[in-house]
Structure 1
């Protein structure tokens, strides 16, 4: 009964996202495909490498398809027991080659994550701090995400079966000379366990950026191919 209720809520959120998009004027749409590799070094230590490309699909009330930037990222994660982990990451964003007036960006990330199980639903809380560095300024960001995931068939996930992931994340960005910026993100994904080492995942993320000042509405279509070794 609980699982059925949660599924209805999650599917309802997807419908609300589409309805909200149709009603917004200040709106931008993106498609962001990603390839990621998870590599386990030891029993409690692993690496993650990823490459993604963000493309405009809707901007200034026009349908279009051109690249905004390319990201290369790396995370190192240490499991510390009881569903908890610590991680640090580095990311480089190539943007100047796609948009002349913009700057490339170097980003450092520090992360604490905890997951816990209730029945066949896994919940997660994640805290992140980030430093986004360009030639002009450094932006400090503080992030909290709550997420849940579960198999859509049966009590556990088997090869060939789908799963569902949903999350909501709050962000605070601060920088010298600028006022604080608050963002909110709502994400829903459906994935498939293709084999013991490969997942494919696709979904939507709706962002309310700088919602205390002049809200910008952004919708992402994500698609990810995830390999694990």
Structure 2
């Protein structure tokens, strides 16, 4: 895929997000993240991250207010060159900042990738148990992702790359109706020296889209990832 052929991806994304101002039921967040990746050996690795989610639009008001802080750990095992399984645990601190419940989340993951040319494709399947004091919610997720360099066919140090994904989610809990969500994500990143990656982008979510009043959620994403 040539550099000029990649730009339609960005045009579609920016046109899509540019229409969000006309959407009702809109909530906006700024979500910075810092992550560390640590390889135990060639097949086994750990990931640790901390994420801070902040309101920037709530009830038609522009503000900056912390909603939650997430601490996350994943252990990943490569079972083939392009396949891996992972287990994750996450704790969400929310009632310190908002009216929501703190949450313990357990995650089981399977991921498979392919890279026929300069574009890499990924399919990720996740099952999650979201445990709060009132109830446990079981969530099932499928994500399709692509990433590719924005200059040439190979990513060199300091050059930009693009990461995009589309994800569907199903949440079920005792006594509640099933909830269906969709997420569309686009980010630009840079591979820097000493194993550091910087990424910025946006994510759009439609939550409870089968209900009579689906929720529109927009994220401004910023992240730093350090590989040791």
Q: 1:139 aligns with which of 122, 137, 140?
A: 137
- Maintained 8 Å contact 1:69/1:93: yes
TM-score for both structures, normalised by structure 1: 0.96
1:50 match = 49
1:76 match = 75
Q: For residues 143 and 10 of structure 2, what CA distance do their matches in structure 1 show? A: 16
Q: Give 1:5 deviation, angstroms.
A: 3.5
2:12 match = 12
Q: Give 1:46 deviation, angstroms.
A: 0.2
Q: For residues 120 and 91 of structure 2, what CA distance do their matches in structure 1 show? A: 31
3-state SS of 1:113 partner: strand
Q: For residues 9 and 202 of structure 1, what CA distance do their matches in structure 2 show? A: 16
1:168 match = 166
Q: For residues 177 and 6 of structure 1, what CA distance do their matches in structure 2 show? A: 46
1:150 match = 148
Structure 1 gap segments, 5+ residues each: none
- Maintained 8 Å contact 2:43/2:78: yes
1:112 match = 110
3-state SS of 1:103 partner: coil
Structure 2 gap segments, 5+ residues each: none
Q: For residues 190 and 144 of structure 1, what CA distance do their matches in structure 2 show? A: 22
Runs of 4+ with deviation above 3 angstroms: 1-7
3-state SS of 1:14 partner: helix
Q: Give 1:195 deviation, angstroms.
A: 1.2
Q: Give 1:215 deviation, angstroms.
A: 0.5
Q: Give 1:3 deviation, angstroms.
A: 5.8
Q: 1:129 aligns with which of 127, 130, 133?
A: 127
Q: For residues 3 and 185 of structure 1, what CA distance do their matches in structure 2 show? A: 26
Q: Give 1:7 deviation, angstroms.
A: 3.2
- Maintained 8 Å contact 2:3/2:152: no
- Maintained 8 Å contact 2:30/2:221: yes
TM-score for both structures, normalised by structure 2: 0.97
Q: Give 1:196 deviation, angstroms.
A: 4.1
Q: CA RMSD in A?
A: 1.2
3-state SS of 1:203 partner: strand
- Maintained 8 Å contact 2:103/2:132: yes
3-state SS of 1:53 partner: strand
3-state SS of 2:154 partner: coil
Q: For residues 4 and 205 of structure 2, what CA distance do their matches in structure 1 show? A: 26
- Maintained 8 Å contact 2:3/2:150: no
Q: Give 1:17 deviation, angstroms.
A: 1.4
3-state SS of 2:186 partner: strand
